[in-house]
Amino acid sequence: MLKIEGLSKSFDGFMAVSNVSLDVKKGEIVAVIGPNGAGKSTLFNLISGVLKPDSGRIIFKGENIAGLPSHAICKKGLSRSFQIVNVFERMTVFENVQISIMAREKMNWNFFTPSSRVLIEETMQILASVGLTEKKDSVCGLLSHGDRKVLEIAVALGGNPEFLILDEPTAGMAPEETGRCIDLIKGLCDRFGLTILFCEHDMELVFAIASRIMVMTRGATLIQGSCDEVRGNQAVQDVYLGGSEVC
């Protein structure tokens, strides 16, 4: 479904992503791991059109999307969430999801459109799928951090994606909230047939849901393989975990 070939991006001569290649098949959950500054978010920014690559190809469903703007990529079925929560603080949970659907449908939002009347069914379906139905009228600025991270996934779902990219879905979450996130991501894959590429520092989450893992360090791919292959790899233990055991 997604084939990345020789993708590179530098910032003022510093190679943040260096000749990265990766295949993701339909229905897979693939994790990208690596230490801080390894290039994970930059890779996701390149795939989702936030940044333009210097070189390389990003083939999504047979078409090279490298360099296209985010909205065009989203329209093709690829949505993403951000490492740092990115929602409208003063709007409600319902409105945040509704606006993302309106953006997809090219509908204008304005203060005179009674928001309670448009796209209610789809908005409520998405909120139900992530477990936020009861919080629908809460103002985002007052949500717990865990709920805000989940809302961001819901906002990404508003684009009706086939392929979802999640940048550290559990960043800053309390340990008890992590389990909820694991169930949520697995459910999205199982129930909606979504293909998911995510990066994460929480190894419990990575090993619980990833079918394959790519390890990055200093912008480049160290190895790609199954959870067991990554867990047992000495180079991963040396570079990523400073020699300690994975998990």
Ligand X SMILES: Nc1ncnc2c1ncn2[C@@H]1O[C@H](COP(=O)(O)OP(=O)(O)OP(=O)(O)O)[C@@H](O)[C@H]1O
Q: Which of 30, 33, 39, 65 binds ligand X (CB under 6 A)?
A: 39
Smaller CB separation from ligand X, 34 or 56 = 34
Residues 6+ apart with CB under 8 A from 158: 79, 97, 98, 99, 100, 101, 103, 104, 123, 126
Neighbours of 162 (CB within 10 A): 17
Is 83 a binding residue for ligand X by CB under 6 A? The answer is yes
Largest CA distance in the chain: 60
First to last CA, the chain: 30
Q: Closest Cα to residue 125, out of 105, 146, 91, 101?
A: 101
| Position 92 contacts Mg ion (CB under 5 A) | no
Determine if 53 is a binding residue for ligand X (CB under 6 A): no
Residue 41 lies near Mg ion (rule: CB under 5 A): yes
**Of positions 4, 7, 16, 210, contacts ligand X by CB under 6 A:** 16
Tell me, what amino acid is at 114? P
d(CA 221, CA 39): 10
| Residue pair 134/86 in contact by the 8 Å Cβ criterion | no
Which listed range, 13-21, 39-47, 55-63, 115-123, lies at the site for Mg ion (CB under 5 A)?
A: 39-47
Candidate residues 11, 69, 88, 145; the one interacting with ligand X per rule CB under 6 A? 11
Binding partner of 11, given ligand X, Mg ion, none, CB within 5-8 angstroms per partner class: ligand X
Q: Which stretch binds ligand X (CB under 6 A): 21-29, 34-42, 100-108, 144-152?
A: 34-42
40 near ligand X, judged by CB under 6 A: yes
User: Nearest distance from residue 170's CB to Mg ion, in Å?
Assistant: 13
Residues near ligand X (CB under 6 A) are: 11, 16, 34, 36-42, 83
